[in-house]
Amino acid sequence: MRRILSFFIGVILGGLAGAVIALFFAPESGLEMRTRLRERADTLAGEIRQAAATKRIELQERLDTLRAPKAQA
């Protein structure tokens, strides 16, 4: 039990140290960073929506093909 507690304390302290170092070495201010992250997230969300719409159309066409009555030879 003591080893697990020590591990989690180390993880928390390591995470805090990493966050502080990241803040000191960040090339932009917080506002600029948040703006860039928001723009990237919006772009990514748009690309995901577009890919989902394209895949939905493709799958709908496949489903329509499978549901269509088969021609008899």
The pLDDT tens digits for 51-66 are: 999 999 999 999 999 9
- Is this prediction's pTM over 0.75? no
Buried b (16+ CB within 10 A) or exposed e, 19-51: eeeeeeeeeeeeeeeeeeeeeeeeeeeeeeeee
Share of the chain above pLDDT 70, in %: 97
List the chain domain ranges: 28-65
Instruction: Indicate the pLDDT class of residue 72, thresholds 50, 70 and 90.
Output: low
